[in-house]
């Protein structure tokens, strides 16, 4: 029994006198205090989504903080639907404004044991600060604790009700405040083994109310009749009764309003006379009958409100890490909610406001509201008002003044909306977008193509009658308009009716006859395993781009593609075999693979191609599922530092990026770099996405998905990448930043738009079909399902979501085009058990740009494959009708459960296709051969047949002259797809290649692909050192005619560029040199020393620029200045000596010639003639003989006259 402390009783004379005196003083103080003014009504805004898929639920706080629950009991089958909000951190951009949502569990399960809920049992979920989820089932005289591991019963025939409950932290104990025999209340502590009941001697009359809240300690704050008491929850030994001098406490609520310390709390006391006492920093006094308010007190009166008809609904302090600075009061006599604002500086209540909840036209509140905890983006707790299954926000929390995409009501009936707000004109509700706007997408008929979505801008589609558009292309037409796709341009338009040469197909106008370019064949595959010891049992098959050597070592191959894949077979733990194809109609052989990165028993493997590494070798991502649930994410690289040669091989080196657990997983490639894993027969799964560099592996968990999700690979990461479909046919987009444990995932609105699916649809699934990177389009998203037809067939129907989420940015209400791919025979399926209908959807990548992939439906009775066609001109893609192939009975897979698939090269080199190897659980291996029938050279595949290319093309992808893929021998293929004689501007022709390659983006003309290979630049850029720049770097100058930067001469500080001639070339003239250099040669050079015939002119001497000026014209050598006097002396003497020497030499030469002439023609003849006497020459004076003298005299006589004449002449 509780031990009561001493209390002042009005029955004693002194106590009665003091009580009356204090009561009078407090009454007058309350009446004379300032009246709390009433402000204008405050409109709270409603979240767009419900907290649970069922209506009529009332939610209450369960975990403190972060977990809430609601319950609805079915009186017929005696089960309860319980909805739980998970308390994980919510890190999405704007989803915190929307609130939380709850996942359902029906019936209630504790562990794996269903909990019975008979009529006479009351289900109680105690509040908790731990992860315990034990449930209390109470019936008169009996309390049962249901936990995952055990059940505990406590019986007492006097127990009549549960007044309060709490799971205690650090113990497996549950504290209960119980009503006993209608007269007493008691404390019951259950510890998993026994129950300890401590009673109290306080009567509990039938007309009295017992109101309790949980506070720090933990402790129960209880009020009943005259008294307010705190009871320690662990043992009930510390019980404090507080008497307030004659005034009853009708409610004591422990909460946080002002206290922030972990060991502090505030207590709200509601009195019977409608006064309110707020004790800030509540602290009980152990030895006294009162308590202390260490942080202050606030007193105010509710006046007209009756205390027995109102309740404060602030959250309990035990689960509040941060205070809430206002009071929320629920008046259930007038069904109205009041907000009371507090001023902690003046310690008073400033004003109160009546909260109006939309829809404003509905009657007043008919059910009690509550305040629940919702973790915010940063992990902090936000407390939101919840009424029924709806969340309501204060306008400031809803960001009404910051979010330009919404219009909020500030007064009742201001906004005509059931939620008190609506999207702005042209906007559509789409949370979680990168714009951080609640209505972040454009409404029907609008697009964001011209501006980023983050600007909140929407503009009408330029195409009339278009519902969703991308730029000038219409993706979906308004009903009842039909979408007509031009056969040549591929551009769609919206028209009233389909042209005569097309047929209507659920909003699309398709050609009356479509070409089917797929040929299907089905054959068993025999594998020779006889040489293995012990004999192997094949459990899984997969494909890999790694090539095994003759010794079984896995190698990476340069320039490997998907169609060059090698089939790998997995048997016992650590046993990996490479399939070696044999001759036609012969058994295949196997080769033991060495060095595989897993020694476990692999049951599924998916490999994705990653961008080449820095060494240019290809890289691969691998995801392995094992029989024991182990999941590995690895990357295979080549460690060589040498670039790969054509066809070269490099040993594969493996690195583990992820290790996890997922029992019984089914693996499927979700996109180019992502793999989806899912439990067999369960709704949970995991998406593993490789980083483009292959350095990291990103994981995204998903839940409540009936099949593998569609991966929205090119969507905004802030929006989400997974499109999920649950077992009930509901579709949703999982925000990229949330996990499967986050309860808000169920609160997103339906992703699929349009009319509801027929109730008899079968196998709804979302899939993503990849598109070739050169197609200029994003991966295509489809919904696929089957519909029973009156004639017994099944219609295979798809809904195409063009462009996925982009560019209209929607995360909800995705409209699509619908069409039937095939009419499948009913005997392919077991329609007697639709829930176990054997059906597998496979996505196959095809080696074609125009037909990049196909959607394959596999059943036990047959298969169907529909190719995805992407128009080469517009980039728009759509699925063509499927080609069907029946499988004879007994020759198909025994079961589709656990079916593994491996795409490998096709059986013949002449066909453009591949084969799908399928292995069932009975280790039977089959091959589905899919062949693309190509068009001959000079033609291309059109919608109805192969059509001729333009005459300028040798091969092509369309009829237009800009759709060439190869040219005739005398032409070059430009990047625009045209055949030209020479490359156009912006392109260049590598030597020996008949194609034009694009220049760097900064070049107009170039000699190579790099940015420093430019030869001409676009305006206003200019060319500098073969690179296009915005301006000429100093000291170079712009040559305006050539748009080229001319660099100054070496050592030139500044120069002047002038046009040289009409050929748009320039010359540079240096105007100043670097320090220590002089300007020479008329501005052409900067030299350290002036050349001969010039002298240095420094600025301090003669001019502003150091230059080499010419010497005086008379100077023939060095000089020191411009005047004759500055000619150096040594130079003058040298010039004179040279002149004299030349003159003398010439004089001597003339004299010598004259002397020679005189001697030859004058002196010598005269001598011979004897003109000169003996005195001239002694030798001539010798005497002559008589005969000689006579002869000489005669001769002289004979010629005496001529000699005289000659002498005279000379």
70 vs 169: CA distance, rounded Å: 23
H or E segment and range at residue 1203? helix 1186-1209
DSSP assignment of 411-441: STTSS-STTSEEEPTTEE-BTT-TT--TB-E
Cis, peptide link before residue 359, omega less than 30° from 0: yes
Peptide bond before 1035: cis, by omega within 30 degrees of 0? yes
Give the whole-angstrom CA distance, residue 685 versus residue 604. 14
Return the H-helix or E-strand segment holding 1186.
helix 1186-1209
Question: Tens digit of pLDDT for each residue in 521-544?
Answer: 888 888 888 777 666 788 899 999
**182 falls in which pLDDT band (50, 70, 90)?**
low
CA-closest candidate to residue 809, choices 404, 427, 406, 476: 427
Model confidence pLDDT, tens digit, residues 33-71: 456 788 888 888 887 766 655 555 666 666 655 555 555
The span from the CA of 739 to the CA of 801, in Å, is: 25
Strands (E) in 272-368, as ranges, are 275-284, 291-301, 310-312, 326-331, 336-343, 348-356
User: Is the pLDDT reported for residue 195 higher than 90?
Assistant: no
E-only strand ranges, 55-130: 59-63, 67-74, 79-84, 103-105, 109-110, 113-114, 122-124, 127-128
Q: Would you say 699 and 714 are in contact if contact means Cβ atoms under 8 Å apart?
A: no
| 98-107, 481-490, 552-561, 1107-1116: segment of lowest average pLDDT | 98-107
Where in the chain are the domains? 461-511, 514-702+900-935, 1037-1129, 1138-1210
Residue with the larger pLDDT of the pair 1103 and 517: 517
Q: Given a cut of 60, is residue 841 above it in pLDDT?
A: yes
Q: How far is 851 from 691, CA to CA, in rounded Å?
A: 27
Query: Does pTM surpass 0.75?
Result: no
Give the per-residue pLDDT at 656. 94
Selected residue with higher pLDDT from 797 and 564: 797
For the chain, the helix, strand and coil percentages under 3-state DSSP, each to the nearest 5:
10, 40, 50
- Distance in angstroms (rounded) separating the CA atoms of residues 1006 and 350: 75
SS3 673: coil
Q: In whole angstroms, give the CA distance from residue 526 to residue 524.
A: 7
Q: Of the candidates 1192, 1186, 1190, which has an alpha carbon nearest to the alpha carbon of residue 1170?
A: 1192
pLDDT in tens, 1019-1049: 888 888 888 988 888 777 788 777 888 888 7
| Pure H helices in 1020-1060 | none
Show the tokens assigned to 669: 């490639």
Please say if the pLDDT value at position 1174 is more than 70: no
Least-confidence region, from 390-399, 881-890, 996-1005, 1165-1174: 1165-1174
CA distance 655 to 490: 45
| Residue-level pLDDT at 872 | 73
Determine how β-strand 466-470 pairs with β-strand 473-477.
Answer: antiparallel
Which tops the pLDDT comparison, 756 or 576? 576
C-alpha of 6 from chain center = 67
Alpha-carbon distance of 479 to 1141, in angstroms, equals 114
* Per-residue pLDDT, 541: 92
Q: Is the pLDDT of residue 379 over 90?
A: no
Give the pLDDT score at 63.
63
Predicted pLDDT at 1044: 86
Residue whose tokens read 């338009």: 493
- State pLDDT tens for residues 231-246: 888 877 667 777 654 4
The values of phi and psi at residue 99, to 5°, are: 110, -155
The pLDDT of residue 980 is 93
Mean pLDDT of 282-300: 84
Q: Which residue has the tokens 């694009």?
A: 998
How high does pLDDT run on average in the chain? 75
Q: Answer whether 666's CB lies under 8 Å from 678's CB.
A: yes
Residue 141, pLDDT > 60, answer yes
Instruction: Band the pLDDT of 1195: cuts 50, 70, 90.
Output: very low
CA distance linking residue 885 with residue 1153, whole number of Å:
123
Give the whole-angstrom CA distance, residue 482 versus residue 64.
55
The pLDDT of 97-102, averaged and rounded, is 37
Predicted confidence (pLDDT) per residue in 924-940, tens digit: 888 888 887 777 788 87
**pLDDT surpassing 70 at residue 1092:** yes
Question: What average pLDDT score do residues 296-311 get?
Answer: 85
- 52 compared with 261, residue with greater pLDDT: 261
Rounded Cα–Cα distance for residues 275 and 83 (Å): 37
Fold of domain 1037-1129: 2.10.220
Tokens of 168: 């205690």
- pLDDT tens for residues 590-608? 888 988 999 999 999 999 9
> Band of the pLDDT at 888, cuts 50, 70, 90?
confident
Q: Can you read off the two tokens belonging to residue 679?
A: 């439990």
Confidence tier at 654 by pLDDT (50, 70, 90):
very high
User: For position 977, what pLDDT does the model report?
Assistant: 87
Contact 785, 764 (CB under 8 A): yes
Are 764 and 841 in contact by the 8 Å Cβ rule? The answer is no
User: At residue 919, does pLDDT exceed 80?
Assistant: yes
- Of 467 and 716, the structure prediction assigns the larger pLDDT to 467
Mean pLDDT calculated for residue range 679-701: 83
1086-1120 exposure pattern, b = at least 16 Cβ within 10 A, e = fewer: bbeebeeebbbbeeeeeeebbbbbebeeebbebbe
- Quote the percentage of the chain above a pLDDT of 70: 72
Residue 828 has pLDDT above 70, yes or no: yes
Q: Confidence class of residue 1208 from pLDDT cuts 50, 70 and 90?
A: very low
Cα separation, 210 vs 1011, whole angstroms: 82
Nearest to 239 by CA among 201, 267, 265, 293: 201
Contact (CB, 8 A) for 484 and 499: yes
The count of residues in the chain is 1210
- Residue 624: per-residue pLDDT: 95
- What pLDDT is stored for residue 10 in this prediction? 38
* 29 has a pLDDT exceeding 70: no
- DSSP helix/strand/coil, 1190: helix
Residues 863-875, mean pLDDT to the nearest whole number: 82
Averaged pLDDT, 572-594: 82
């Amino acid at each position: 029994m509780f031990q009561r402390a001493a209390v002042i009783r009005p029955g004693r004379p002194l106590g009665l006198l003091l009580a009356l005196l204090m009561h009078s003083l407090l009454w007058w103080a309350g009446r004379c205090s300032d009246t709390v003014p009433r402000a204008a009504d405050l409109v709270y805004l409603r979240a767009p989504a419900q907290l649970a898929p069922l209506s009529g639920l009332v939610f209450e706080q369960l975990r403190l903080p972060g977990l809430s629950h609601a319950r609805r009991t079915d009186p017929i089958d005696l089960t309860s639907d319980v909805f739980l909000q998970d308390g994980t951190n919510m890190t999405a951009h704007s989803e915190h404004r929307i609130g939380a949502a709850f996942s359902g569990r029906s019936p209630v399960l504790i562990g794996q044991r269903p909990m019975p809920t008979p009529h006479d049992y009351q289900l109680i979920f105690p509040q908790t600060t731990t992860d315990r989820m034990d449930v209390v089932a109470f019936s008169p005289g009996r309390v049962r604790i249901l936990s995952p591991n055990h059940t505990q019963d406590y019986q007492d025939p006097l127990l009549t009700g549960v007044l309060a409950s709490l799971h205690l932290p650090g113990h497996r104990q549950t504290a209960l405040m119980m009503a006993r025999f209608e007269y007493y209340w008691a404390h019951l502590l259950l510890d998993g083994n026994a129950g300890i009941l401590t009673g109290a001697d306080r009567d509990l009359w039938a007309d009295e109310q017992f109101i309790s809240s949980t506070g720090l300690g933990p402790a129960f704050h209880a009020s009943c009749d005259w008294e307010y008491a705190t009871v320690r929850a662990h043992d009930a030994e510390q019980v404090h009764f507080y008497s307030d001098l004659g005034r009853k406490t009708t409610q004591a609520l422990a909460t946080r309003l002002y206290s922030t310390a972990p060991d502090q709390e505030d207590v709200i006391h509601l009195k019977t006379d409608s006064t309110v006492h707020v004790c800030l920093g509540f602290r009980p006094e152990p030895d006294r009958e009162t308590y202390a308010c260490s942080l202050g007190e606030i007193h105010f009166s509710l006046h007209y409100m009756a205390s027995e008809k109102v309740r404060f609904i602030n959250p309990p302090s035990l689960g509040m890490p941060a205070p809430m600075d206002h009071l929320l009061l629920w008046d259930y006599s007038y069904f109205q909610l009041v907000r009371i604002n507090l001023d902690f500086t003046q310690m008073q209540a400033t004003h109160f406001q009546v909260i109006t909840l939309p829809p404003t036209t509905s009657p007043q509140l008919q059910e009690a509201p509550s305040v629940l905890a919702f973790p915010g983006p940063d992990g902090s707790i936000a407390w939101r008002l919840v009424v029924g299954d709806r969340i309501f926000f204060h306008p400031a929390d809803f960001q009404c003044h910051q979010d330009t995409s919404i219009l909020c009501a500030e007064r009742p009936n201001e906004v005509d909306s059931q939620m008190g707000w609506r999207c702005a004109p042209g906007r559509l509700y789409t949370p979680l977008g990168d714009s951080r706007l609640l209505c972040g997408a454009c409404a029907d008929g609008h697009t964001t193509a011209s501006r980023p979505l983050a600007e909140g801008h929407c503009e009408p589609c330029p195409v009339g009658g278009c519902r969703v558009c991308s730029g000038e292309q219409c993706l979906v037409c308004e009903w009842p308009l039909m979408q007509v796709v031009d056969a040549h341009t591929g551009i769609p338009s919206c028209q009233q009716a389909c042209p005569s040469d097309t047929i209507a197909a659920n909003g699309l106008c398709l050609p009356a006859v479509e070409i089917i370019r797929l040929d299907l064949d089905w054959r068993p595959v025999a594998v020779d395993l006889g040489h293995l010891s012990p004999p192997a049992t094949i459990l899984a098959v997969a494909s890999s781009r790694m090539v095994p050597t003759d010794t079984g070592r896995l190698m990476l191959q340069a320039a490997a593609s998907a169609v060059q894949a090698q089939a790998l077979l997995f048997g016992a733990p650590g046993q990996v075999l490479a399939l070696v194809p044999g001759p036609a109609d012969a058994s295949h052989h196997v080769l033991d693979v060495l060095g595989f990165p897993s020694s476990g028993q692999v049951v599924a493997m998916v490999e994705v191609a990653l961008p080449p590494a820095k060494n240019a070798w290809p890289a691969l991502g691998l995801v392995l599922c094992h029989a024991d649930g182990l999941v590995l994410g690895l990357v295979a690289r080549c460690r060589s530092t040498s670039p790969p040669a054509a066809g070269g091989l490099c040993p594969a080196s493996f690195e583990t990026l992820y290790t996890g657990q997922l029992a019984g997983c089914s693996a499927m490639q979700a996109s180019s770099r992502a793999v989806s894993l899912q439990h067999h027969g369960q709704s949970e799964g995991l998406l593993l996405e490789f980083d483009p560099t292959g350095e990291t592996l990103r994981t995204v968990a998903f839940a409540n998905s009936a099949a593998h999700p569609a991966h929205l690979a090119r969507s905004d990461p802030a929006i989400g990448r997974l499109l999920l479909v649950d077992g009930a046919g509901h579709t949703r987009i999982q925000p990229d930043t949330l996990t499967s444990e986050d309860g808000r995932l169920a609160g997103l609105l339906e992703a699929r738009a349009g009319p509801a699916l027929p109730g008899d649809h079968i196998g709804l699934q979302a899939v993503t079909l990849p598109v070739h990177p050169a197609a200029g389009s994003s991966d295509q998203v489809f919904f696929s399902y089957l519909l029973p037809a009156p004639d017994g067939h099944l219609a295979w129907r798809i809904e195409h979501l063009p462009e996925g989420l982009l560019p209209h940015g929607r995360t909800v209400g995705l409209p699509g085009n619908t069409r039937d791919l095939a009419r499948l025979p009913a005997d392919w399926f077991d329609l007697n058990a639709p829930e176990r209908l054997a059906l597998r959807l496979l996505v196959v990548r095809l080696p074609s740009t125009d037909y990049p992939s196909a959607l394959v439906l596999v059943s036990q009775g047959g298969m169907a494959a529909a190719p995805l066609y992407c128009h080469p001109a517009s980039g728009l893609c759509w699925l063509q009708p499927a080609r069907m192939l029946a499988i004879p009975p007994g020759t198909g897979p025994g079961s589709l459960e656990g079916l593994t698939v491996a795409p490998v090269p096709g059986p013949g080199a002449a066909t453009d296709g591949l084969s799908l190897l399928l292995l069932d659980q009975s280790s039977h291996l089959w091959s589905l051969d899919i062949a693309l029938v190509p068009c001959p050279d000079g033609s291309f595949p059109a919608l109805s047949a192969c059509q001729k290319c333009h005459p300028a093309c040798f091969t092509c992808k369309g009829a237009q002259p800009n759709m060439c893929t190869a040219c005739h021998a005398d032409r070059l293929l430009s990047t625009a797809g045209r055949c030209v004689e020479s490359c156009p501007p912006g392109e260049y022709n590598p030597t020996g290649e008949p194609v034009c390659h694009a220049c760097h983006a900064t070049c107009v003309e170039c000699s190579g692909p790099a940015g420093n290979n430019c030869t001409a630049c676009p305006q206003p850029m200019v060319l500098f050192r073969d690179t296009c720049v915005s301006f000429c770097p100093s000291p170079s100058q712009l040559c305006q005619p050539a748009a080229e930067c001319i660099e100054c001469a070496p050592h030139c500080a500044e120069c002047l560029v002038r046009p040289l001639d009409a050929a748009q070339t320039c010359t540079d003239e240096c105007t100043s040199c670097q320090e220590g250099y002089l300007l020479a040669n008329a501005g052409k050079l900067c030299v350290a020393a002036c050349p001969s015939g010039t002298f240095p002119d420094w600025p301090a001497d003669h001019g502003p620029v150091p230059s080499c000026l010419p010497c005086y014209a008379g100077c023939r050598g060095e000089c020191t200045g411009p005047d004759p006097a500055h000619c150096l002396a040594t130079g003058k003497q040298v010039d004179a000596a040279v002149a004299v020497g030349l003159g003398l030499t010439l004089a001597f030469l003339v004299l010598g010639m004259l002397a020679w002439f005189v001697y030859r023609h004058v002196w010598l003849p005269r001598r011979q003639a004897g003109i000169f006497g003996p005195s001239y020459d002694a030798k001539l004076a010798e005497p002559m003989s008589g005969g000689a003298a006579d002869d000489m005299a005669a001769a002289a006589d004979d010629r005496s006259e001529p000699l005289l004449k000659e002498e005279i002449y000379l």
